[in-house]
Structure 1
Amino acid sequence: MIDHVTFAVSDITKSRQFYEKAFAPLGYRIAFGDEGRFWAFDIGDGLFEIMQAEEKGPLTRVHVAFRVKSKALVREFYEAALAAGAEDNGAPGPRPQYTPDYYACFVLDPDGYNIEAMIDQPDAGQS
Protein backbone atom coordinates (compact mmCIF):
# COMPACT_ATOMS: atom_id res chain seq x y z
CA MET A 1 0.00 0.00 0.00
CA ILE A 2 1.24 3.49 -0.72
CA ASP A 3 1.67 5.40 2.55
CA HIS A 4 2.55 8.77 1.08
CA VAL A 5 3.61 10.55 -2.09
CA THR A 6 5.67 13.74 -2.06
CA PHE A 7 5.97 16.26 -4.87
CA ALA A 8 8.61 18.97 -4.95
CA VAL A 9 6.99 22.31 -5.83
CA SER A 10 8.44 25.62 -6.98
CA ASP A 11 6.42 27.79 -4.57
CA ILE A 12 5.30 26.06 -1.36
CA THR A 13 2.92 28.88 -0.33
CA LYS A 14 1.18 29.00 -3.71
CA SER A 15 0.94 25.20 -3.87
CA ARG A 16 -0.46 24.98 -0.33
CA GLN A 17 -3.17 27.48 -1.21
CA PHE A 18 -3.97 25.60 -4.43
CA TYR A 19 -4.23 22.16 -2.79
CA GLU A 20 -6.23 23.46 0.18
CA LYS A 21 -8.85 24.81 -2.24
CA ALA A 22 -8.72 21.87 -4.66
CA PHE A 23 -8.96 19.28 -1.86
CA ALA A 24 -11.76 21.05 0.07
CA PRO A 25 -14.60 19.23 -1.75
CA LEU A 26 -12.88 15.91 -1.05
CA GLY A 27 -12.53 16.63 2.66
CA TYR A 28 -8.73 16.46 2.55
CA ARG A 29 -7.06 18.76 5.08
CA ILE A 30 -3.52 19.57 6.21
CA ALA A 31 -2.38 17.05 8.82
CA PHE A 32 0.99 18.61 9.65
CA GLY A 33 3.84 20.53 8.09
CA ASP A 34 6.64 23.00 8.47
CA GLU A 35 6.05 26.55 7.21
CA GLY A 36 8.12 27.24 4.12
CA ARG A 37 9.35 23.63 3.83
CA PHE A 38 6.53 21.09 3.44
CA TRP A 39 2.85 20.29 4.06
CA ALA A 40 1.19 16.89 4.43
CA PHE A 41 -2.50 16.49 3.56
CA ASP A 42 -4.49 13.68 5.16
CA ILE A 43 -6.18 11.85 2.27
CA GLY A 44 -7.69 9.01 4.28
CA ASP A 45 -5.45 5.96 4.22
CA GLY A 46 -2.32 7.93 3.41
CA LEU A 47 -0.75 11.33 2.90
CA PHE A 48 -0.21 13.60 -0.08
CA GLU A 49 2.79 15.83 0.61
CA ILE A 50 4.26 18.88 -1.05
CA MET A 51 7.76 20.14 -0.34
CA GLN A 52 9.67 23.21 -1.39
CA ALA A 53 12.02 22.22 -4.23
CA GLU A 54 15.68 22.91 -3.67
CA GLU A 55 18.49 23.10 -6.16
CA LYS A 56 20.28 20.43 -4.16
CA GLY A 57 18.79 18.29 -1.43
CA PRO A 58 18.12 14.79 -0.19
CA LEU A 59 14.72 14.37 -1.87
CA THR A 60 14.03 14.02 -5.56
CA ARG A 61 11.15 15.81 -7.29
CA VAL A 62 8.98 12.72 -6.79
CA HIS A 63 9.02 10.52 -3.69
CA VAL A 64 6.83 7.46 -3.07
CA ALA A 65 6.71 5.56 0.24
CA PHE A 66 5.35 2.02 0.42
CA ARG A 67 3.93 0.92 3.78
CA VAL A 68 5.02 -2.61 4.72
CA LYS A 69 4.12 -4.90 7.61
CA SER A 70 7.48 -5.37 9.36
CA LYS A 71 10.98 -4.01 9.79
CA ALA A 72 12.23 -7.24 8.20
CA LEU A 73 10.33 -6.37 5.01
CA VAL A 74 11.90 -2.89 5.01
CA ARG A 75 15.32 -4.55 5.10
CA GLU A 76 14.37 -7.15 2.48
CA PHE A 77 13.08 -4.46 0.11
CA TYR A 78 16.28 -2.47 0.57
CA GLU A 79 18.53 -5.46 -0.22
CA ALA A 80 16.40 -6.53 -3.21
CA ALA A 81 16.35 -3.00 -4.62
CA LEU A 82 20.13 -2.64 -4.31
CA ALA A 83 20.59 -6.04 -5.95
CA ALA A 84 18.31 -4.88 -8.78
CA GLY A 85 20.50 -1.82 -9.39
CA ALA A 86 19.08 0.86 -7.11
CA GLU A 87 21.37 3.40 -5.46
CA ASP A 88 21.38 3.67 -1.66
CA ASN A 89 19.64 6.80 -0.38
CA GLY A 90 19.28 5.80 3.28
CA ALA A 91 19.87 2.40 4.87
CA PRO A 92 17.13 0.72 6.90
CA GLY A 93 16.79 2.17 10.36
CA PRO A 94 14.72 4.23 12.78
CA ARG A 95 13.63 7.70 11.71
CA PRO A 96 12.49 9.28 15.02
CA GLN A 97 12.51 12.72 13.40
CA TYR A 98 9.30 11.64 11.61
CA THR A 99 7.51 9.78 14.42
CA PRO A 100 8.78 7.73 17.40
CA ASP A 101 8.04 4.37 15.71
CA TYR A 102 9.03 5.22 12.13
CA TYR A 103 11.44 2.73 10.50
CA ALA A 104 12.39 3.08 6.85
CA CYS A 105 14.88 2.78 4.04
CA PHE A 106 15.34 4.85 0.89
CA VAL A 107 16.69 3.96 -2.54
CA LEU A 108 16.98 5.80 -5.83
CA ASP A 109 15.45 3.89 -8.75
CA PRO A 110 17.10 3.80 -12.22
CA ASP A 111 15.63 7.23 -13.03
CA GLY A 112 16.74 8.73 -9.72
CA TYR A 113 13.34 8.76 -8.00
CA ASN A 114 13.37 8.40 -4.22
CA ILE A 115 11.54 5.19 -3.26
CA GLU A 116 10.91 4.33 0.39
CA ALA A 117 9.74 1.26 2.27
CA MET A 118 8.48 2.09 5.75
CA ILE A 119 6.57 0.98 8.81
CA ASP A 120 5.23 3.34 11.46
CA GLN A 121 3.99 1.30 14.41
CA PRO A 122 5.41 0.04 17.67
CA ASP A 123 7.57 -3.04 17.37
CA ALA A 124 5.28 -5.96 18.24
CA GLY A 125 7.94 -8.62 18.22
CA GLN A 126 8.47 -8.26 14.46
CA SER A 127 11.96 -6.99 13.87
Structure 2
Amino acid sequence: MTILDHIEFAVCDAEASRRFYEQALAPLGIVRIITVERNRTRSGGMRHGFGRDGYPRLWIHDNESPGAGTHIAFAAQDRATVDAFHQAALKAGGIDNGPPGVRSHYHANYYAAYVLDPDNVNVEVVCQDPHFSRS
Protein backbone atom coordinates (compact mmCIF):
# COMPACT_ATOMS: atom_id res chain seq x y z
CA MET A 1 0.00 0.00 0.00
CA THR A 2 1.25 3.46 -0.86
CA ILE A 3 1.46 6.05 1.91
CA LEU A 4 0.28 8.91 -0.28
CA ASP A 5 -3.16 8.82 -1.78
CA HIS A 6 -2.86 12.16 -3.59
CA ILE A 7 -1.37 15.63 -3.46
CA GLU A 8 -2.84 18.90 -4.69
CA PHE A 9 -1.45 22.37 -5.11
CA ALA A 10 -2.44 25.71 -6.59
CA VAL A 11 -0.92 27.02 -9.82
CA CYS A 12 -1.19 30.42 -11.49
CA ASP A 13 -2.83 29.11 -14.67
CA ALA A 14 -4.36 25.62 -14.64
CA GLU A 15 -4.43 25.36 -18.43
CA ALA A 16 -0.77 26.30 -18.86
CA SER A 17 0.18 23.90 -16.06
CA ARG A 18 -2.02 21.16 -17.58
CA ARG A 19 -0.14 21.44 -20.87
CA PHE A 20 3.19 21.37 -19.02
CA TYR A 21 2.39 18.32 -16.87
CA GLU A 22 0.81 16.39 -19.75
CA GLN A 23 4.09 16.64 -21.64
CA ALA A 24 6.53 16.48 -18.74
CA LEU A 25 4.95 13.46 -17.03
CA ALA A 26 4.26 11.44 -20.20
CA PRO A 27 7.63 9.61 -20.02
CA LEU A 28 6.63 8.41 -16.54
CA GLY A 29 3.35 6.98 -17.80
CA ILE A 30 1.43 9.64 -15.89
CA VAL A 31 -1.49 11.13 -17.81
CA ARG A 32 -4.37 13.54 -17.22
CA ILE A 33 -7.25 11.42 -15.99
CA ILE A 34 -9.88 14.00 -15.12
CA THR A 35 -10.71 17.68 -15.42
CA VAL A 36 -13.16 19.26 -13.00
CA GLU A 37 -14.81 22.38 -14.37
CA ARG A 38 -14.77 25.67 -12.41
CA ASN A 39 -18.46 25.47 -11.48
CA ARG A 40 -17.85 22.16 -9.66
CA THR A 41 -14.93 23.22 -7.44
CA ARG A 42 -14.77 24.77 -3.99
CA SER A 43 -12.42 27.56 -5.12
CA GLY A 44 -14.08 28.24 -8.46
CA GLY A 45 -10.86 27.26 -10.22
CA MET A 46 -10.23 24.66 -12.89
CA ARG A 47 -8.84 21.34 -11.54
CA HIS A 48 -6.86 18.68 -13.39
CA GLY A 49 -6.01 15.25 -11.97
CA PHE A 50 -3.03 13.22 -13.23
CA GLY A 51 -2.05 9.65 -12.48
CA ARG A 52 -1.77 6.08 -13.69
CA ASP A 53 -4.22 3.21 -13.92
CA GLY A 54 -7.24 5.52 -13.90
CA TYR A 55 -6.59 7.08 -10.48
CA PRO A 56 -5.48 10.72 -10.12
CA ARG A 57 -2.75 11.13 -7.50
CA LEU A 58 -1.55 14.60 -8.52
CA TRP A 59 -4.05 17.47 -8.65
CA ILE A 60 -3.43 21.03 -9.81
CA HIS A 61 -5.90 23.89 -9.59
CA ASP A 62 -6.06 27.63 -10.09
CA ASN A 63 -8.05 30.50 -8.57
CA GLU A 64 -5.97 30.38 -5.38
CA SER A 65 -2.50 31.77 -4.77
CA PRO A 66 0.26 29.23 -5.35
CA GLY A 67 1.18 27.94 -1.92
CA ALA A 68 -2.38 28.48 -0.72
CA GLY A 69 -4.68 25.54 -1.18
CA THR A 70 -1.86 23.02 -0.78
CA HIS A 71 -3.33 19.64 0.04
CA ILE A 72 -1.77 16.28 0.81
CA ALA A 73 -3.69 13.06 1.42
CA PHE A 74 -2.33 9.98 3.13
CA ALA A 75 -3.84 6.55 2.50
CA ALA A 76 -5.20 4.56 5.45
CA GLN A 77 -5.97 0.84 5.51
CA ASP A 78 -9.14 1.24 7.57
CA ARG A 79 -11.59 3.82 8.87
CA ALA A 80 -10.37 3.49 12.46
CA THR A 81 -7.00 4.84 11.32
CA VAL A 82 -8.74 7.86 9.75
CA ASP A 83 -10.51 8.49 13.06
CA ALA A 84 -7.25 8.10 15.03
CA PHE A 85 -5.44 10.53 12.73
CA HIS A 86 -8.14 13.17 13.20
CA GLN A 87 -8.02 12.89 16.99
CA ALA A 88 -4.21 12.91 17.12
CA ALA A 89 -3.92 15.85 14.72
CA LEU A 90 -6.38 17.94 16.72
CA LYS A 91 -4.56 17.07 19.94
CA ALA A 92 -1.30 18.15 18.27
CA GLY A 93 -2.77 21.59 17.56
CA GLY A 94 -4.26 21.06 14.11
CA ILE A 95 -7.46 22.84 13.11
CA ASP A 96 -10.44 20.72 12.10
CA ASN A 97 -11.12 21.10 8.38
CA GLY A 98 -13.60 18.23 8.06
CA PRO A 99 -14.35 15.51 10.62
CA PRO A 100 -14.14 11.80 9.78
CA GLY A 101 -16.93 10.69 7.50
CA VAL A 102 -17.96 9.41 4.10
CA ARG A 103 -17.55 11.94 1.28
CA SER A 104 -20.18 10.52 -1.07
CA HIS A 105 -19.63 13.33 -3.58
CA TYR A 106 -16.37 11.49 -4.40
CA HIS A 107 -17.77 7.96 -4.07
CA ALA A 108 -19.58 5.75 -1.55
CA ASN A 109 -16.38 4.33 0.03
CA TYR A 110 -14.44 7.60 0.38
CA TYR A 111 -14.03 7.91 4.16
CA ALA A 112 -11.77 10.82 5.09
CA ALA A 113 -10.85 13.43 7.68
CA TYR A 114 -9.16 16.79 7.13
CA VAL A 115 -7.00 18.95 9.41
CA LEU A 116 -5.11 22.18 8.74
CA ASP A 117 -1.50 22.01 9.90
CA PRO A 118 0.33 24.98 11.50
CA ASP A 119 0.95 26.47 8.02
CA ASN A 120 -2.65 25.92 6.85
CA VAL A 121 -1.76 22.98 4.63
CA ASN A 122 -4.87 20.82 4.28
CA VAL A 123 -3.81 17.36 5.48
CA GLU A 124 -6.19 14.49 4.74
CA VAL A 125 -6.22 10.82 5.63
CA VAL A 126 -8.52 8.68 3.51
CA CYS A 127 -9.65 5.05 3.44
CA GLN A 128 -11.22 4.05 0.14
CA ASP A 129 -11.44 0.32 0.77
CA PRO A 130 -15.01 -0.97 0.53
CA HIS A 131 -14.03 -3.84 2.87
CA PHE A 132 -12.60 -1.65 5.64
CA SER A 133 -12.28 -2.76 9.24
CA ARG A 134 -13.63 -0.37 11.85
CA SER A 135 -12.35 -2.30 14.85
Q: Which residue of 2 aligns with 1:19?
A: 21
1:69 pairs with 2:77: yes
Q: SS in structure 2 opposite 1:79?
A: helix
What stretches of structure 1 move > 4 A for 4+ residues in a row?
A: 43-46
Describe the shift of the 1:74–1:125 C-alpha distance in structure 2 as closer, same or farther (beyond 3 A): closer
Contact 1:107/1:116 (<8 A) preserved: yes
Q: Distance in 2 between matches of 1:9 and 1:78?
A: 28
Q: Which residue of 2 aligns with 1:84?
A: 92
One-letter amino acid of the counterpart of residue 64, structure 2: E
Q: Distance in 1 between matches of 2:52 and 2:92?
A: 32
Pick from 42, 57, 68: which aligns with 1:47?
Answer: 57
Q: Distance in 2 between matches of 1:96 and 1:114?
A: 19
Q: TM-score, normalised by structure 2?
A: 0.83
Contact 2:77/2:129 (<8 A) preserved: no
Q: Which sections of structure 2, spanning at least 5 residues, go unmatched?
A: 39-45
Pick from 124, 127, 134: which aligns with 1:116?
Answer: 124
One-letter amino acid of the counterpart of residue 42, structure 1: G
Q: Which residue of 1 aligns with 2:34?
A: 32
Contact 1:53/1:61 (<8 A) preserved: no
How far does residue 93 in structure 1 lie from its aligned partner after superposition? 0.3
Contact 1:2/1:46 (<8 A) preserved: no
Which has the larger displacement, 37-46 or 64-73? 37-46
1:126 pairs with 2:128: no
How far does residue 33 in structure 1 lie from its aligned partner after superposition? 2.2
After superposition, where does 1:98-113 map in structure 2 within 5 Å? 98-113=106-121
Q: TM-score, normalised by structure 1?
A: 0.88
Q: SS in structure 1 opposite 2:34?
A: strand
One-letter amino acid of the counterpart of residue 117, structure 1: V
Q: SS in structure 1 opposite 2:49?
A: strand
Q: Which sections of structure 1, spanning at least 5 residues, go unmatched?
A: none
How far does residue 62 in structure 1 lie from its aligned partner after superposition? 1.3
RMSD over aligned Cα atoms: 1.8
